[in-house]
Structure 1
């Protein structure tokens, strides 16, 4: 298909989330003509209905929980919270980022290019392949148009997975995309799903202390991919915050009444329970947005789960002959903002021959916004045992860390795993408590450098800081911690495992 009125682009990015926007801006660095095709919200789930909005809600809820605390020497009187005003703050946070993105898009538009020599065009509408180089777009208000792309990046993200029985209606049965549609705090809420997203929203709504929160956990523990002690730490925090966790419970049915919902739960031991709630939040994972791209017209196909299988360059076929790539949640790799962003940038660097280093998914830090927050990087004990890697693990409680004591926020820990092969290589860390999300990145760097405990202990941590818990945990592994396991057996623990 050829036509003089079809605009040609060096790169067409389908989706404006973290993968798509990062890729587009990296292509500008190479002086390329770029189009971003976005069907819904600019920024994708990374900005709206995802990372930014949920973390804004978490920050607001955490502030409210601190303000309403009565065990810190002060008491705030007449403290109230309005869900509509919370929503407005959350939406304003998302709009702040969207307008930053729009400012950059307009600055690099074809009519107003600055500095770099490339150009950026935002086309709002739904894109689907006409063939391997032409994209058909159903635009918003401008009818259909076709554009040509020398290269394509599919970065269409993901959406909440539908429950096989619970059909969302946006009012009483909702998913995470629909929470901002509520007009008030529900008096009672059931969250179906005890993974990261479910536990984060359980934390948020229990922090605000306006909602009776129930959490449905089909297994024996929340966050089931983590070690039992870490999972228990999360469960205890949720329960301390007022969340009622229904372990080993399966959802059977919901009976809708005029002003509430009756939910029937069946438990592993055979008994059943009926609970009354006002809202059900379905949080059972996400599925990729690849089903309306008409991939077959470009000679491509998603796998049976809807994901786009990619190679080391994020290409969907042999890199030497490929011009269609994929990044972010569509690829089935770990669904993290940082992964999507790095993949998007890496694709552009691979296309135009400027790859500084290969993509490495082995030491990805993960943040989980509970109460308190939880951070992880590297392997945990379960993974090490599955791989039959001998290790030693040390656990050091924040109850012994001076900064945490000063903050009156000692619920937390540092847990570090190292190799038990005479080399003492650092293998992974889990940390819970204040500022855990801030210092996990520095520990990820230690893993990337393949350092030993002895090498890391050359550095001295400032006092008072929460990272002194890391220092003491490493000293503990070498048998030279200041505080001893024999005196504080609940706060300090050492374990070792060999296959």
Structure 2
């Protein structure tokens, strides 16, 4: 079968690329090795983790804040099988949505492992062992990523687990030891902390969410500590062992002294690595970068082999679903002869703990390193009328603006619905708005987004009204 475009992988990058190609009139096929579409994000990543985050937050509020609202409950308990069942239903609904969209857009789908025979020919090894070959003028590699492992720490997927297994636990751990203080680990760690587990975080760096603004990490650690999570920062894991239902994790403190923790589960969340196995890249003369196994691409996301593109987690940049989606659209439109663009400096990062954390643009550390003169405006949610009404007063919004032009250079927030609020900052920065531009826009009252306006006022000659 001959196609204009063959997409390998149906995660956020792959399925968006396939749909956009089809919209542009290109005959499109998509190959997926799993029985359902959506890749890591829909099946074992973004969507199921958000389902559990919401469920655990409901339980936590019922246990700790409902009484303040005048709501009294008796005999409250966690039903983990039902929580996991609901999560699975959310996943099934989303993956079914992709199936519908593929049919609507007349995209041909194949289940199996896709690999290159040559740059225009893809062999599909199906689950039953049979093989089929298809050809395409263009191929988009969108195979995503998988959890990274530590070479000295074997993952048995029972007691020493990755994020994938953490989404299917049918019991609340007594003590979960979390290796890694990044986004994935903290989100899942907070799920089980809310449900009553003791959660210990061991992080090699000196702060959590180390790629984001340092102020966000400090505030999030303070909030999660109140939740009962404990942190070992600047500590280096050296090994782990399992005996029965007990896991022992060995690590060194900053002084090099030996330490250990015992728990019933150990979640290894030390990042992700590009999934480029079994693609047959060597058959078309492509190699992967030694660090992270990523595929090298040019400014059009085309590899060194003409007509072969790569997007999402398998190429440079942040491993984010929305970045992959943007790149999927970008490549589809490039193949169709259009001139799309992506502003990589304005792709927001989000941590879906509660409060949520969101960030876009430059951090203070980056601006200092670049020698850019900037000013800061900050507004705490404890001064927000809407946040007081909902009881979500932890966190703040911080705006960084150019000292001379007042152009917004970075926005960093931790607070209620920060994941949604960051969109205002992205729009503002895409159109190169100044802090004063945002401060003079009307924001509905009472809303959480007023904190963005107040932070911009604070950056504009310290004019914040409510602090």
1:416 match:
399
Contact 1:395-1:413 at 8 Å conserved across structures: yes
Contact 2:11-2:38 at 8 Å conserved across structures: yes
Tell me how far 1:132 sits from its aligned partner. 1.3
Tell me the matched-pair count.
Answer: 462
Moved more, 306-315 or 223-232: 223-232
2:465 match:
482
Tell me how far 1:89 sits from its aligned partner. 1.1
1:340 match:
324
Q: Distance in 1 between matches of 2:187 and 2:117?
A: 41
Is 1:448 equivalent to 2:448 in the alignment? Answer: no
Tell me how far 1:125 sits from its aligned partner. 0.3
Q: Distance in 1 between matches of 2:102 and 2:465?
A: 54
Q: Which runs of 5+ in 2 are unaligned?
A: none
Alignment of 1:159-308 (within 5 A): 159-209=146-196, 211-305=197-291, 306-308=293-295
Contact 1:262-1:277 at 8 Å conserved across structures: yes
Q: Distance in 2 between matches of 1:132 and 1:251?
A: 43
Contact 1:133-1:298 at 8 Å conserved across structures: no
Contact 2:376-2:401 at 8 Å conserved across structures: yes
1:417 partner SS: strand
Tell me how far 1:260 sits from its aligned partner. 0.9
2:32 match:
38
- Shift of the 416–182 alpha-carbon distance from structure 1 to 2, 3 Å rule, reads same
1:339 partner SS: helix
Deviation per residue, 1:81-123 (Å, 9 max, x gap)? 1222211111111110111111222344xxxxxxxxxx31111
1:427 match:
409
Is 1:371 equivalent to 2:354 in the alignment? Answer: yes
Give the counterpart of 1:458 among 411, 421, 440. Answer: 440
1:130 partner SS: strand
Contact 2:297-2:310 at 8 Å conserved across structures: yes
1:256 partner SS: strand
2:311 match:
327
Q: Distance in 1 between matches of 2:103 and 2:212?
A: 44
1:351 match:
335
Tell me how far 1:156 sits from its aligned partner. 0.3
Is 1:75 equivalent to 2:72 in the alignment? Answer: yes
Q: Distance in 2 between matches of 1:300 and 1:224?
A: 32
Q: Normalization by structure 1: what TM-score?
A: 0.89
2:58 match:
63
1:131 match:
118
Deviation per residue, 1:183-240 (Å, 9 max, x gap)? 322211111011111111121111112x111111122211122333221101111111
Q: Distance in 1 between matches of 2:148 and 2:45?
A: 14
Contact 1:155-1:326 at 8 Å conserved across structures: yes
Q: Distance in 2 between matches of 1:228 and 1:30?
A: 43
Q: Distance in 2 between matches of 1:145 and 1:77?
A: 59
Tell me how far 1:443 sits from its aligned partner. 1.2
Tell me how far 1:137 sits from its aligned partner. 1.0
Alignment of 1:96-107 (within 5 A): 96-107=93-104
RMSD: 1.5
Moved more, 342-351 or 81-90: 81-90
Tell me how far 1:142 sits from its aligned partner. 6.1
Q: Which runs of 5+ in 1 are unaligned?
A: 1-6, 109-118, 485-499
Q: Which has the larger radius of gyration?
A: 1
Contact 2:297-2:304 at 8 Å conserved across structures: yes
2:324 partner SS: helix
Contact 2:212-2:359 at 8 Å conserved across structures: no
Tell me how far 1:258 sits from its aligned partner. 2.2
Contact 1:37-1:123 at 8 Å conserved across structures: yes
Tell me how far 1:181 sits from its aligned partner. 4.1
- Shift of the 352–59 alpha-carbon distance from structure 1 to 2, 3 Å rule, reads same
Give the counterpart of 2:107 among 120, 123, 147. Answer: 120
Q: Distance in 2 between matches of 1:274 and 1:456?
A: 50
